[in-house]
Amino acid sequence: MIKLYDYELSGNCYKLRLLMSFLGLEHEAEPIDFYPGNQHKSPEFRQINPLGQLPVIDDEGLVLRDAQAILVYLASKYDTSENWYPSSDPAILGQVSQWLAFADGITTTASAARLHDAMFYTQIDVDVARAGANKLFRILDEHLYFAELDGQDWICPGDHPTIADIACFPYIMLSEEGGVSRMDYPAIRRWTDRFKRIPGFVVMSGVFPAGPAVEKEAERAA
């Protein structure tokens, strides 16, 4: 079974929990005391990931680090529909990769601000991190707005979400914990609501499910 070195409050670990839940893929979690224990920086954990970062998976001996890389791997290996990582279409593949890299930028800005506020990563310049997050959110908000005008629900064109949506979702959803409001990004807010209604969606601490009232309305409409 896939082993995930996991920390509940990590948005990067949550990305993998989300994909595995969407795919109905079972996994075994190995909890790591990221805070306050700093276990991911311990010599033992650096044997598993020399970068001292979460998440890491071990899939029958294949040890992989980096949330985006693991999303690519799990989707390629276990999603036979190729919906989550449409690797046969070069144009879509290029766009998915582009937004995976963008998600890394969200981690270094929005997630950094959250670590500063919640876990006292005082070396982080929180104003720079917040300004960086707002810049990225503005770009994604405009992208999603124009996508909606084209009848598209997701970050990359197509009628199914991709791992690009998964990679961008967690630290956008947790941004308020770092003092970055989503008030000014209505297209992002509509997209996060759609994301929460993908069958198999799971929450993490700090992320709440979509309201049941709207689900019932959708059932009535169906």
Question: Which residues of the chain form contacts with another protein (CB under 8 A)?
Answer: 7-9, 31, 33, 35-37, 39, 117-120, 122, 176-177, 179, 204-206, 208
- The residue assigned the tokens 């009848």 is 151
Nearer to another protein, 16 or 75 (CB): 16
Instruction: Work out how close the CB of 32 gets to another protein at its nearest, in angstroms, rounded to a whole number.
Output: 8
Instruction: Provide the 3-class DSSP secondary structure of residue 199.
Output: coil
Nearer to another protein, 10 or 109 (CB): 10
Give Cα 96 distance to the centre of its chain. 13
Nearer to another protein, 10 or 162 (CB): 10
Pairing of strands 62-65, 27-31: unpaired
Instruction: Work out how close the CB of 155 gets to another protein at its nearest, in angstroms, rounded to a whole number.
Output: 23
The b-or-e profile of 85-103 (16+ CB within 10 A means b, else e) is: bbeeeeebeebbbebbebb
Backbone phi, psi, residue 35, to 5°: -140, 130
Work out the angle between the directed axes of helices 11-22 and 67-78 (0-180°, nearest 10).
Answer: 10
Nearer to another protein, 75 or 112 (CB): 112
Instruction: Work out how close the CB of 214 gets to another protein at its nearest, in angstroms, rounded to a whole number.
Output: 16
